[in-house]
Amino acid sequence: MKRIGMGIVGAGFVGPHHVDAVRRLGFVDVVAIAGSSEQSAKQKADALGVPKAYGSYQALLDDPAVHVVHNATPNYLHFTVNAAAIAKKKHVVSDKPLAMTAAEARQLVDQARQAGIVNAVTFNYRGNPLVQQARHAIKRGDIGPPRFLIGQYLQDWLIKDTDYSWRLEPDKGGASSALGDIGSHWCDLAQHVSGLRITHVLGDITTTIPKRKKPTGSREAFQAASGSEKFELVDIKVEDLASVLLRFDNGAKGSFSVGQVCAGHKNDLVLEVCGSISSMRWRQEFQNELWIGHRDKANELLSKDPSLIDGEVRHYAHLPGGHQEGWADAFANLMRDIYGFIAEGKKPDAAHPPAFATFEDGYRANAIVEAILESAKQGSGWVAVKS
Ligand SMILES: NC(=O)c1ccc[n+]([C@@H]2O[C@H](COP(=O)([O-])OP(=O)(O)OC[C@H]3O[C@@H](n4cnc5c(N)ncnc54)[C@H](O)[C@@H]3O)[C@@H](O)[C@H]2O)c1
């Protein structure tokens, strides 16, 4: 098999997981890392055993050994790096959000289509075996047409006023915090699993901590403050909590809540799809189980067991029943899907619909978040999602 060269821009929290995931595939070489400086890139490259380190993303894009560019920089660099990578005709795997605004995301969709490159956004929960099982079963009609999609994505890492991240600064993270960072995952998952589109939203958003203590030194992503740390008090303009009502294109209704200030919820993504016959619920923190609810017989709890899930999605499970698979395994499944397209020279389009999220899906996520913010701005009325 022809080997494929991967280069990654930004190797903070999530970047090393991109590296780990593609290495599992067996036919991908991680050839280079680009960081915010030559020194930080070298440090990361040494730690991860990557041969080349660049102090700028432009230098990485100029490297002919890099065929696929992974963009794991903070949000404000997504558009610039993605656009530059497409201009060099590299395949692009962008971390979410695709861009800071839907308008920028639309430009990237058009640019990627014209360049004919494989384009993907890491809405990684799609890679979970039981997510694919639910999607397959719903498509087959097991639960009947979906009528109600409900859920949440709750975390607690921003619950204290000493918790801080670039995600809270609109010029680096975008106009939204909780909705853009994690609500976008929920919306993508709901649409992917159900096969439906969110058409209208009604949002109520809150900034529960309007002033935070921003550390004056540097701190790793998701790291709590230490007692001796110096800080400045800053105003926070983005939401850390939101409730959203939804309408879908088949007439189904729904709602979800997101929060980064909910104690005890670490990465608590829950999606339930209630159909006309049965319901299905998947919870990320218990990702090896799928709840199936019935009216006329006992409810079921399906385990992630390759011998129990459908043959069409069995390849997403790599260990026998009872052997738990997790976040990093699902991330690797996503990369397997994306690199399968790259290796086969296939373009993600209507003729070859991929299981992974494309730039078009990334655009939709940006457009949904913008519509929710617009709804909240208007005093929480219904707003149509731009198509
Ligand atoms: N798919 C997921 O579940 C998931 C999980 C976490 C983060 N993310 C996304 O990944 C992105 C990165 O998040 P993170 O938590 O890893 O952030 P992070 O702050 O830990 O890492 C970002 C890295 O980018 C580097 N960087 C900054 N400017 C750069 C530049 N000009 N060139 C090269 N590198 C540069 C920083 O030094 C840092 O190492 C975000 O957009 C976030 O939304 C996605």
Per-residue confidence (pLDDT) for residue 224, from 0 to 100: 77
Which CATH number is 126-321+362-384 given?
A: 3.30.360.10
| Ligand 1 atom, smallest distance to 11 CA | 39
For 380, left (φ over 0), alpha (ψ -120 to 50), or beta? Answer: left
Span from the CA of 78 to the centroid of ligand 1 (angstroms):
9
Rounded Cα–Cα distance for residues 221 and 167 (Å) = 10
- How far is residue 117's CA from residue 124's CA, in Å, rounded to a whole number? 20
Q: Name the one residue in this structure whose structure tokens are 């990485």.
A: 60
Copy the structure tokens of residue 6: 């991967």
pLDDT digits 0-9 by tens, 57-95: 999 999 999 999 999 999 999 999 999 999 999 999 999
Cβ atoms of 256 and 202 within 8 Å: the answer is no
Counting ligand 1 atoms within 8 A of each CB, the residue from 54, 73, 268 with the most, and so the one to mutate, is 73
Residue 222 near ligand 1, beta carbon < 6 Å: no
Q: Read off the pLDDT of residues 159-186 as tens digits, 9 standing for 90 and up.
A: 999 999 999 999 999 999 999 999 999 9
Please tell me the predicted confidence (pLDDT) of residue 349: 87
Alpha-carbon gap, residue 180 to 92, rounded angstroms: 20
Distance CA 126, CA 32 (A): 27
pLDDT for position 217? 79
79 phi-psi bin (left φ>0, alpha ψ -120 to 50, beta other)? alpha
Whether 75 lines ligand 1, by a CB cut-off of 6 Å, is yes
CA 98 – CA 90 distance, rounded (Å): 16
CB atoms within 10 A of CB 221: 12
Residue 77 Cα to ligand 1 midpoint, Å, equals 9
Which atom belonging to ligand 1 lies closest to the Cα atom of 166?
19
34 lines ligand 1 (CB under 6 A): yes
> Which residue has tokens 């949904």?
368
Largest distance between two CA atoms of the chain = 63
Q: Where are the domains of the chain?
A: 4-124, 126-321+362-384
pTM over cut 0.75: yes
User: Tell me: domain 4-124, CATH 3.40.50.720, correct?
Assistant: yes
CA of 148 to the centre of ligand 1 (A): 34
Question: Which ligand 1 atom minimizes the distance to the CA of 44?
Answer: 39
Alpha carbon nearest to ligand 1 atom 1, residue: 122
Give yes or no for residue 365 CB within 6 A of ligand 1: no
Cβ–Cβ under 8 Å, residues 273 and 253: no
Q: What is the Rg, in whole angstroms, of the alpha carbon atoms belonging to the chain?
A: 21
pLDDT computed for residue 229 by the predictor: 82
Average pLDDT per 10 consecutive residues for the chain, totaling 387 residues: 95 97 98 97 98 98 98 98 98 98 98 97 98 98 98 98 97 98 98 98 98 87 77 97 98 98 98 98 98 98 98 98 98 98 93 95 98 98 97
Whose CA is closest to atom 4 on ligand 1? 14
What is the reported pLDDT for 133? Answer: 98
Q: In angstroms, what is the span from residue 242 Cα to ligand 1's centroid?
A: 24
Cα separation of the two ends of the chain: 39
Going by C-alpha positions, the residue among 248, 257, 138 that lies closest to residue 203 is: 257
73 CB under 6 A from ligand 1? Answer: yes
Q: How far is the CA of 382 from the centre of ligand 1 (A)?
A: 33
SS3 102: helix
* Residue nearest atom 27 of ligand 1, based on CA coordinates: 36
Report CA(246)–ligand 1 centroid distance (Å): 30
Do the Cβ atoms of 48 and 66 come closer than 8 Å?
no
Report residue 246 as tokens. Answer: 């939804």
Residue 69's pLDDT is 98
List the residue whose alpha carbon is closest to atom 21 of ligand 1.
12
Q: Is the CB of 199 under 6 A from ligand 1?
A: no
Residue 71 C-alpha to ligand 1 middle, in angstroms?
8
Query: DSSP per residue over 42-83, as a string?
Result: HHHHHHHT-SEEESSHHHHHT-TT--EEEE-S-GGGHHHHHH
Beta strand extents in the chain (DSSP E only): 4-9, 28-34, 52-54, 68-71, 91-94, 119-121, 146-154, 198-206, 211-215, 231-235, 241-248, 253-259, 268-275, 279-283, 289-293, 300-303, 383-384
